[in-house]
């Protein structure tokens, strides 16, 4: 497996205790993502048959789909992909200020967009990767365009088009270099619904007692199984 994920819902109360675990394959052409969810209401674990694609992430008001976390993730099978080329663009980079523990959500989350005084951009080279929905496949996004930082090879911005070909949503991730992990880390991100004039802040941790803990836990594959989901939810 390439990666594992486990999430536990703390709020709202009606969903408290729900646990989702998933296992990410290395090669989506041979294997698929496996996921299970523990429901505290029934105290049962069920396998999620199609975990990913355009299913909305809970708590995002439908503005973030499972496969738009990190701008794109999971199987690429529903799109025809084309490398458009390279260009220069101002992109979020070395975004330390927005992640400071002194930042308050009320100061960061302004009407229409995040507080620009907390953002940081650099003029960098980006590769433009375009995915167009294949005929016979279903997805909320008829086209998605990823802007990939040539220095880090992480997608930092993305345009999302509806099935009519109209630009609908736009997302950005504030990356920063995590010295304890010795790698670039995806920090707080913002997803904008251009039709509704609304946006959501995602992966915010500024007011938490602890920020992300990287490379500091002895994690094992057994922590990401149906049995582990049931144990974590109890």
Beta partners for 86?
127
86 and 196 in a single domain? The answer is: yes
Quote the domain boundaries for residue 115.
Answer: 58-203
Average pLDDT for residues 127-156, to the nearest whole number? 97
The answer to whether residue 112 scores a pLDDT higher than 80 is: yes
In a domain, 168, yes or no: yes
Whether 110 is covered by a domain: the verdict is yes
Q: Which residue has the higher pLDDT, 234 or 57?
A: 57
Are 64 and 154 contained in the same domain? yes
Per-residue pLDDT band for 219 (boundaries 50, 70, 90) equals confident
In the predicted model, is pLDDT for residue 214 greater than 90? Answer: no
Q: How many domains does the chain have?
A: 2
Work out the pLDDT band at 61, boundaries 50, 70, 90: confident
Statement: residue 33 has pLDDT above 90: yes
CA distances from 143 to 46, 86, 138 (A): 32, 19, 11
Residues 46 and 89 in one domain: no
Q: ∠ CA(41), CA(44), CA(45), 5° rounding?
A: 125
Q: How confident is the model at residue 19 (pLDDT cuts 50, 70, 90)?
A: very high
Do 65 and 144 belong together in one domain?
Answer: yes
Query: Is residue 158 within 8 Å of residue 144, measured between CB atoms?
Result: yes
Q: Is the pLDDT of residue 216 over 80?
A: no
Q: How confident is the model at residue 74 (pLDDT cuts 50, 70, 90)?
A: very high
Pair 118, 138 in one domain:
yes
Q: What is the mean pLDDT of residues 133-145?
A: 97
Strand order in the sheet with 121-133: 79-92, 121-133, 143-149, 155-161, 167-178, 183-193, 198-202
Using pLDDT thresholds of 50, 70 and 90, give the confidence band for residue 176: very high
pLDDT at 27: 93
Assess whether 125 and 21 both reside in one domain. no
Q: What is the pLDDT of residue 58?
A: 83
Question: What average pLDDT does range 13-40 have in this prediction?
Answer: 93
Mean pLDDT for the stretch of residues 172-183: 92
């Amino acid at each position: 497996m390439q990666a594992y994920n486990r999430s536990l819902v703390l709020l709202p109360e009606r969903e408290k205790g729900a646990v989702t675990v998933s296992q990410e394959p290395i090669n989506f052409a041979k294997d698929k993502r496996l996921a299970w969810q523990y429901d505290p209401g029934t105290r049962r674990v069920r396998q999620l048959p199609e975990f990913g694609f355009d299913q909305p992430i809970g708590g995002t008001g439908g503005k973030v789909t499972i496969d738009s976390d990190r701008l794109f993730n999971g199987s690429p099978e529903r799109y025809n992909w084309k490398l458009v080329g390279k260009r220069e663009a101002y992109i979020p980079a070395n975004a330390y200020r927005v992640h400071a523990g002194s930042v308050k959500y009320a100061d960061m989350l302004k009407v229409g967009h995040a507080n620009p005084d907390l953002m940081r951009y650099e003029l960098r080279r980006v590769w433009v990767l375009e995915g167009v929905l294949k005929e016979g496949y279903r997805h909320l996004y008829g086209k998605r365009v990823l802007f990939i930082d040539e220095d880090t090879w992480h997608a930092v911005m993305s345009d999302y088009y509806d099935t009519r070909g109209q630009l609908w949503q736009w997302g950005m991730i504030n990356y920063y270099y995590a010295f304890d992990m010795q790698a670039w880390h995806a920090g707080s991100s913002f997803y904008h619904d251009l039709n509704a004039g609304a946006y959501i802040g995602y992966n915010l941790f500024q007011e938490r007692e602890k920020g992300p803990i990287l490379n500091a836990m002895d994690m094992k594959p057994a922590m990401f199984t149906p049995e582990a989901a049931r144990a974590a939810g109890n």
